[in-house]
Structures are given as structure tokens and as C-alpha cells.
Amino acid sequence: MDTILFTAFGTPISTMEVAASLVGLAIALLVASWLSGARARRRDAAEAAARQADLQEKLAELARAHAEVTGRLRSMGEILGSRQADLARFVAEQLESVGARVGRSLEDQSRNSSESLGKLNERLAVIDAAQARLTGLTQEVIGLKDILANKQARGAFGQGRMEAIVRDALPGNAYEFQHTLSNRCRPDCVIRLPGDERLMVIDAKFPLEAFVALKDAQDADARKVASARVRTDVGRHIADIKDRYFVAGETQDIAILFVPSESLYADLAEHFEDVVQKAHTNRIVIVSPSLLVMAVQVMQALVRDARVREQAHVIQIEVRRLVEDVTRLRQRVGKLGAHFGQVQEDVAGIVISADKIAKSGERIDLLDFGSTETAAQTELAFGGLGKAAE
């Protein structure tokens, strides 16, 4: 049913009209909506196409960049491969060079070590020998110390040195060891001087205990006590020599006191001059081994002079015989000189004959037979050569 709803501007508006208007409006809205959606779809399609084109362009650029990166990576790989090969070759060369140097160094070190070990072994051998000698010397020093600590052994040591010096310098008939004097005393050695029947006495029993105490003294008081003991012992020994070995008409007025050590004699002469003067006052000469050698050499010269004087007539006879032998030698040399002169003349004649024969041979070689003088000279030359040969 068509009902009028209202009037507008004098025109009644019915329900149908309103419905038709609404339907038309709805259709218009639908059309407008469809048109706007189509435009939106076209715009979206355009935008999607643009985005697709942009995406394809970016994908193309990405492909180009990927291809470029791939090429660069391939070239870089090739470069790295060549560099790696060069590096491997360089490292191999360096390792070979280092190995060679290390080998040479090890060889040199081995050779040097062998030489050093050889030298070390030689030095060790020398050290062992020196140690053996040092051990022997130590034992000898210990033995010497034991000898010097024992009075009897010390006397035997001084006696041995003195006997060696005297025995090496003098003939056997010029000395005697342990000779018994008329007063029943027995000096260590007596020497017979030429032209004098009196004997020169040598004593080798020098007191040593006081000097050992002086060497071992630690302070001034101990040295003073030891010095006093040295003066006492040496003075007593000098007095004993004077009382026992000075026999009138049998021994010399001078005796010799032998000190078996140069250092001991130096200490005595340097620090105990009063003791040396006391010995000189008592006509006793203190000598060291070197001074005893000098004194014995003087005695040896005296003995030699005496023996020369004793054998003077024998020497004259021998000189006379020598003069006779020289005279005979002179005569024989004169005869030999005469023989040499004769031989020299014969040799000169032979040379002259040889010259003539040579000249004749030259003429014969030249077939020069026309001269009788040549034949005569040849015959004369051969005749002279025969006489010289005879």
C-alpha cells in the first residue's frame, strides 16, 4: 500500500517513492563503491607492477653483483692459489736452507765438541799425570817431614845430601865418611887437602827443632821463646864441634857446619847474625848446599893442582913424545909434498902430449899427410906419452 509519508516543497512523498529513492541511492552507492574499488585495484595493480619491476631490477642488479662477486672470488681464489704455491715453495726453500744450515751447524758443533773433548781428554790426562806426580810429591814431602821430625832420620838426610855433594866433586882418595879421630870422635866427613896431613872436618847434624818451633810460632812471645831456643841450640852445637873435632896436628883449624836447606840457611843468616858471628869466632863456617858445592869445587881445584904438580914429570915425558911425533909427521908431510910435485910434473907432460896428439888427429882428419914434420910430431907425441906412462 502506497502511503504518503510527508510533503516536501509541496510535493507529497509516498512510501514507494522513499523506497525507490532508497534503492536508487543504494544502487548509486554500490556503483560508486564498485568504481572506487576498481580504481583502488587498478592503483594496487600499478603499484604491484611497479614493485615487481623494481624487484626484478633489484634482482638483476643482485645477479650482476653476484656474478661480479663470483668472478672476483674466482680471481681471488686463483691469486690465493698461486700465492699459496709460491708461499709453499718459499717455505720449502727456507726450510731446506734452514735444515742445511742447522745440519752444518750441528756438524760444526759436533766437530768442535769432538775436538774439545779430545783436548779435554788430553788435559785430563795431563791433570791425572800432574795429580799422580803431586801425590808422589806429597808422599815425599810427608816422608821428608817424618825424616825431619826424627833426629836420627834428619841426621841421615843431611848426611846423604852432604855425601852426594862431596862424592860428585872429589876423587875417592880425597875424602872419607865417618872417619874416627884419635879422640874417638867420628865426624860426618873429613877431606884430605893436598900438601897438608891435617883433615878438614864437615859436620851435617844441624839442630832443627828450634827452627820448626820458630816457624810454628803464632805470636810475638812464642817467636821470642823460639828465637832464644835457636840461639841456645845452635850455640851448643857450635861448642860441641869445637870441643870434639878440633884436634891439634890432626884436623884443620877450620871446620864446616853443613845446613841441608837453603831457606834455613837464609833465615839463620838474616835473623841470627850473632850466631853466625859466634861460629866464625870459633873458626866454624856455616854453609848451605850451594856454598858447600862452591867450597868442594875449590878443594877439587886444589887437589887437581896438586895432582898436576905430582905428575909434572909424566907430563913432560908425554910432551916430549908429542914433539917427536910432530917432527916425524913434518918429515913425512915433506916427502908427500915431493911426491905430489913429481906427480904434478908428470901430469903436465901428459897434458902436453895429449895436446900434440889432438893436433895430429885434426891433421889426419883433414888428410894432411904431405908434411914430414907432422909425422915426426905425431911420433914424438906418442913416444912422450909412452915415457910418461912408464
Residue 193 carries which DSSP code?
P
Residue 387: predicted pLDDT: 47
Location of each CATH 3.40.1350 domain in the chain: 150-310
| Phi, psi at 7, each rounded to 5° | -115, 135
**CA-to-CA distance for 290 and 330, rounded, in angstroms?**
50
Residue 303: predicted pLDDT: 67
Query: Cβ neighbours of residue 5 under 8 Å, at least 6 residues apart?
Result: 13, 14, 15, 18
302 close to 258: Cβ distance less than 8 angstroms: no
For residue 3 the three cell numbers come to 502511503
Stretch (H or E) spanning 282: none
Residue 388: predicted pLDDT: 44
Residue 157: predicted pLDDT: 57
**CA-to-CA distance for 295 and 287, rounded, in angstroms?**
9
Q: How many residues does the chain have?
A: 390
Residue 299: predicted pLDDT: 76
Q: Cα–chain-centroid distance for residue 56?
A: 94
Per-residue pLDDT of the chain (390 residues; tens, 9 = 90+): 556 655 656 666 666 666 777 777 778 777 777 777 777 777 877 888 888 888 888 888 888 888 888 888 888 878 877 777 787 788 778 778 877 877 787 788 778 777 877 787 787 788 878 777 777 777 665 555 554 444 444 555 577 788 888 888 777 788 888 888 888 888 888 888 777 788 888 888 877 777 777 777 788 888 888 888 888 888 888 888 888 888 888 888 888 888 887 888 888 888 888 888 888 888 888 888 888 888 877 777 776 766 666 666 677 777 778 778 878 877 877 777 777 777 777 777 777 877 777 777 777 666 655 554 555 555 554 454 444 444
Residue 9: predicted pLDDT: 61
Residue 152: predicted pLDDT: 46
Its sign, for the CA torsion 332, 338, 342, 345, is positive
Answer CATH for 150-310 from 1.10.3470, 3.40.1350, 3.40.50, 1.10.260: 3.40.1350
Q: What b/e sequence results for 79-112 when a residue is b if at least 16 CB atoms lie within 10 Å of its CB, and e otherwise?
A: eeeeeeeeeeeeeeeeeeeeeeeeeeeeeeeeee
Kind of pairing, strands 251-258 and 284-287? parallel
Give the CA distances from residue 232 to residues 179, 229, 266, in Å, rounded to whole numbers and listed in that order: 28, 5, 18
Q: Cα–chain-centroid distance for residue 219?
A: 45
Residue 376: predicted pLDDT: 52
